[in-house]
Amino acid sequence: MPKLDVDLVEIKGAACCGFPLSSIDNLTWTYLTARNLALCEDQHLDMLPLCNGCHLSMCEVKHALQANPALKEKVNTVLASEDLRYKGTARVRHIIEVLHDDIGPERIQKAISKPLGGLKFAAHYGCHALRPSELGRPDDSRNPKKLETLIGVLGARWDIYPERLDCCGAGIAVSAGESSLKIAGGKLEKLRTAGFDGLVTTCPFCMRMYDARQEAIGALLGGATSFPVFYYTQLLGLCMGVDEASLGLHLNMSPVGEVIQKFQARTS
């Protein structure tokens, strides 16, 4: 990202965004989210939550606190114990917005030295990057295009597919584990037979389902599910000439090696 003039700074003192606790207690969720936003305000930062769930959490709570001054005051009374105050001024950006709207496809195209050639990828946005639409999500809830545009800029092919807007299943990973794996596995299997070289996402929770849980999916569905899954930023880095280790490609649990070999064969 620094090569694209985006400075990334870690928020000092950050804790959980609170979203996983929204099922347990709404006020605790609101407090934890507002706390992270207040830290950003205090440190004069815009926020870039990498996870779709964290991003939605920030947007929902910002919206709720703006609509409900009494709730805002209640949260601020407690935040004062950590010398924090939520004002609502920190900007919250999604990685798709930063790449597509702030940096823009043209600058990305200029920054890449090794295009992806004829490889064909499927984009997975993830639920909370698209819905609920009334809260202003990074892209259109029914016909998003930004992630496909970003894939296209790297010189790769893409195509839309019927399961494109579907959930990764992570939302029920703790309550109905097998069903959540079946939901993720169903999509991977369709993509494999549809002739895609890989799946591309930006959300770490979706990544966990499709990449890290792939072995468990294979064990459950009685066959080796074998489909490469990448973060968009990993592909972007490859095209910009960043070395594989820095991109953490050895940490992807899905079989990404073959795609990388194809890429290297084309660009060397």
Partner 1 sequence: MVVRSSDLDLNFIEELSKIGGETVKSCFQCGTCTGTCPSGRLTSLRTRMIIRKTILGLKKEVLSSPALWECMICFKCHEQCPRGVNIPTVMLALRNLAIREGVTPPEGYLKMARSVFEEGAVQPPQEVVTRDFESFSRTSLDLPSPSKPADFGKFSRALGEVGFRKIIGG
Contacts with partner 1 by CB under 8 A lie at: 10-16, 18, 20-28, 31-32, 35, 78-79, 81-82, 127-128, 131-133, 141-142, 165-167, 169-176, 179-180, 182-183, 248, 250-255
| H or E element at residue 142 | none
Between 44 and 250, name the residue whose CB sits nearer to partner 1: 250
Between 27 and 219, name the residue whose CB sits nearer to partner 1: 27
Between 110 and 160, name the residue whose CB sits nearer to partner 1: 160
Distance (Å, rounded) from C-alpha 125 to C-alpha 130? Answer: 7
- Least distance to partner 1, CB of residue 172, Å: 5
- Least distance to partner 1, CB of residue 171, Å: 3
Max intra-chain CA distance, the chain: 61
- Least distance to partner 1, CB of residue 19, Å: 9
Between 92 and 170, name the residue whose CB sits nearer to partner 1: 170
Q: Are 14 and 39 in contact (CB under 8 A)?
A: yes
What are residue 122's DSSP bridge partners?
199
Distance (Å, rounded) from C-alpha 26 to C-alpha 31? Answer: 9
CA angle 63, 66, 68 (to 5 degrees): 105
Residue 156 dihedral angles phi and psi, to the nearest 5°? -95, 160
Distance (Å, rounded) from C-alpha 134 to C-alpha 86? Answer: 23
Distance (Å, rounded) from C-alpha 61 to C-alpha 39? Answer: 15
Between 168 and 200, name the residue whose CB sits nearer to partner 1: 168
Between 180 and 201, name the residue whose CB sits nearer to partner 1: 180
SS3 of residue 216 by DSSP: helix
- Least distance to partner 1, CB of residue 243, Å: 14
Distance (Å, rounded) from C-alpha 155 to C-alpha 115? Answer: 5
- Least distance to partner 1, CB of residue 155, Å: 26
Q: Are 240 and 213 in contact (CB under 8 A)?
A: no
Between 160 and 251, name the residue whose CB sits nearer to partner 1: 251
Question: What does the block give as tokens for 169?
Answer: 């299943």
